[in-house]
A and B are shown apart, each in its own frame.
Chain A
């Protein structure tokens, strides 16, 4: 039985949330789809009274756009590199953390530290670490003032200095810097979740494995990883979703240039593309790109869940 008093009371309690959601969540969903399917829709022109025809030109244009392809490529490369690397590293760290007693708490805290940082601010620190100060234009008699701490370490180990992010740096070098930073940034959350998962695995399975004389590596591959698979699936899926929305970490290192000084926009991503389109008042194109991004995330998530259905042991 639902009494009427409770009915209206419930709606009163919900009203602030519902009003805000209608304006800032529900309406945008419809409106974004609408704008995406109106040819060359522009907010500014619409305000001026212009009407737009229905069509899929926005999507066609976006996909054909060279900048978009490069953004998509960057995003995908960052995703497929950083997610596996960070997941594997996090798994190793979590397993190692779980196997020790002394120092466990303090190390756990240290590994969580990158989480409570501002990705723009710490990106600037990474930039400082990779940056070469001085005139570095690849010419013969350039004067390098400081090669940056990362290059100092490379030199110390006997390697050659690399132009990571400065004027004239290569795409590969830029990407490596981004991957290092994103992995560094992604570790804490994954370690936290995986360590939580490890701690909730029944100790008895490990006792049984001992009784069965299981070698360490086999315990890891045959017992730990399968029993941890729900958590692994979770961090991989959220990792991919986050990866496709990568943007601020690049702003952190490269600034709004989204690339080295001589090739602005080289490292731009899907999200960056959407905001660029928005800033030029091309809402139609931005919407189309956002829907494409949503579609990609949806498909990747579905593939992930399908794979994990087969592989994950709940």
Chain B
């Protein structure tokens, strides 16, 4: 602020000039923002678009040196071929078996553990919980090495068990659900105790319904995890009977470069991606809520 004898307020701006300038700038910025977003959206969407139109082309059309952006003849037969070539039916079934069973068991274990950490008192609770959280720091590869030997020793190689059991416990999900349980007022629990409600009944009738959004998020992420898992299944269950979808896809189309039958390959990719998109369309809210808290894929 200037001295007292030099007390002038800010200069007036040329209002009419400023007004027109402000309109132009605002419009320009708006146009730029939308142009940028639409351009980025096109880049993001393009692979999906390319996947779908390629999957519908004939091989000859795909191989034309000038690309077509809409298939001349729609080849739905590519999908049928992809389905049989990659034995997708079997892969879908395997993945669903693993996905559903591991999700259900995982939910039970997560709910019970989260309840114990959120509501029950026992010695060493805080210590145990911190120890669990600390394991989240360690990269999964470090566990995989030993687990590979362990499951070999258990004789679990090439079974559904090996795909399900080692990953049933997720410290992150326990943490997530415990936080959610903690928000439920303790009075409800005490009131239930007074009424003589058993813990399990209370858990099932009160806490589970209240924490349903989190449980749905966990379910979706877990199912997506099964759908997308690649490394572990490839190591321990790469036989025809138990192979999972991602693995099967990669196995069926080993060649990525050179002269490959891309339309069929893209049809297979589209078939594998479709369930994920369906889930996304209907349950977007839960996925986004779960993901923003996790930072982990699947």
Whether the pair B258, A261 counts as a contact (CB closer than 8 A) is yes
Which of A32, A116, A166, A251 sits near B279, CB closer than 8 Å?
Answer: A116
Whether the pair B250, A111 counts as a contact (CB closer than 8 A) is no
Whether the pair A238, B295 counts as a contact (CB closer than 8 A) is yes
A-contacting residues, B117-141, CB 8 Å: 120-123, 125, 128, 132, 135, 137-141
Q: Does B83 contact A (CB under 8 A)?
A: no
Which of B123, B231, B258, B291 is the most central at the interface, judged by chain A CB atoms within 10 Å of its CB?
B258
Query: B residues within 8 A CB of A247?
Result: 231
Whether the pair A28, B146 counts as a contact (CB closer than 8 A) is yes
A291 and B142 contact, Cβ closer than 8 Å, known pairs A2-B123, A112-B288: yes
Q: Does A59 contact B (CB under 8 A)?
A: no
B-contacting residues, A93-117, CB 8 Å: 93, 96-97, 99-100, 103, 107, 109-117
Cβ-Cβ contact count across A and B, 8 Å cutoff? 284
Query: A residues within 8 A CB of B272?
Result: 118, 121
Whether the pair A146, B141 counts as a contact (CB closer than 8 A) is no
Dominant secondary structure of chain B at its interface with chain A: helix
Q: Does A167 contact B (CB under 8 A)?
A: yes
Give 1 or 0 for each of B38-58: 1 = CB within 8 Å of chain A CB.
001101110110110010000
Which of A110, A245, A278, A286 sits near B139, CB closer than 8 Å?
Answer: A245
Dominant secondary structure of chain A at its interface with chain B: helix
Q: Other than A96-B33, A113-B45, A125-B48, give 10 A-B pairs with Cβ distance below 8 A.
A: A14-B112, A14-B113, A24-B143, A25-B135, A31-B146, A97-B37, A133-B63, A187-B44, A193-B292, A261-B257
Whether the pair A216, B145 counts as a contact (CB closer than 8 A) is no
Top 4 A-B residue pairs of the complex, sorted by shortest distance between their CB atoms: A28-B146, A10-B122, A10-B120, A238-B295
> Distance (Å) between the CB of B256 and the closest chain A CB?
4
Whether the pair B259, A118 counts as a contact (CB closer than 8 A) is no
Give 1 or 0 for each of B49-86: 1 = CB within 8 Å of chain A CB.
01100100000001111110000000000000000000
Q: Does A265 contact B (CB under 8 A)?
A: no
- In Å, the complex CA distance between A208 and B43 comes to 36
Query: B residues within 8 A CB of A310?
Result: none
> Distance (Å) between the CB of A218 and the closest chain B CB?
14
Q: Does A120 contact B (CB under 8 A)?
A: yes
Query: B residues within 8 A CB of A283?
Result: 145, 149
B-contacting residues, A268-314, CB 8 Å: 271, 274-275, 278-279, 283, 286-287, 290-291, 293-294, 297-298, 301
